[in-house]
Amino acid sequence: MHRTERQIEDYLSDYPYLISPEFEEVERQVRLEKDQIADLVYKDDQRIVVIELKKDRANKRDVEQIVGYCKYYQGGPRKVSGILVARSIIESARTLLDKENTKNPFHMEFKAIGSDIPRDITVCEECGRARGVEEDCKTLGCN
């Protein structure tokens, strides 16, 4: 099954802990400036994490986009970071991401759908938590 960007956003906003275990809730389609809308944003007392989703391969423009979003949030008391989520990342975009990480106070990382983040998910009948179809439920007290 080939997922669209919208479908990826749907399941990752419903089950953001698939991106990172501490993400219990995220805001979706957050307008930052006039033409800037972040796909997902996670916030707690200590940090803000901007999450940008691409369905296929992430390119340099996608990295520049998430840099812009991180810059938007930067400067407050909370630590800012970014996660670029895509099926893969092209070499030049990876190089740019690494370079931007050395230049800026915020940290960005790439997460691959299909390895870092499950692509095909199922919802556990017992606890209602989502997981990759090939994984066991890791929830405490669940089989």
92 binds Zn ion (CB under 5 A): no
139 binds Zn ion (CB under 5 A): yes
| Euclidean distance between CA atoms 106 and 116, whole angstroms | 21
Pick the binder of Zn ion from 90, 112, 121, 127 (CB under 5 A). 127
112 binds Zn ion (CB under 5 A): no
Nearer of residues 98 and 126 to Zn ion, judged by Cβ = 126
Tell me the torsion sign for CA atoms 105, 106, 110, 116: positive
Q: Where are the alpha helices (DSSP H) in 15-104?
A: 60-73, 91-103
Stretch that binds Zn ion, among 54-62, 80-88, 99-107, 125-133 (CB under 5 A): 125-133
Nearer of residues 41 and 142 to Zn ion, judged by Cβ = 142
Are 79 and 48 a contacting pair, CB within 8 Å? yes
126 binds Zn ion (CB under 5 A): yes
| Euclidean distance between CA atoms 44 and 137, whole angstroms | 26
Nearer of residues 21 and 76 to Zn ion, judged by Cβ = 21
Q: Give the position of tokens 């970014």.
A: 82
- Binding residues (CB under 5 A) for Zn ion: these are 124, 126-127, 137, 139, 142
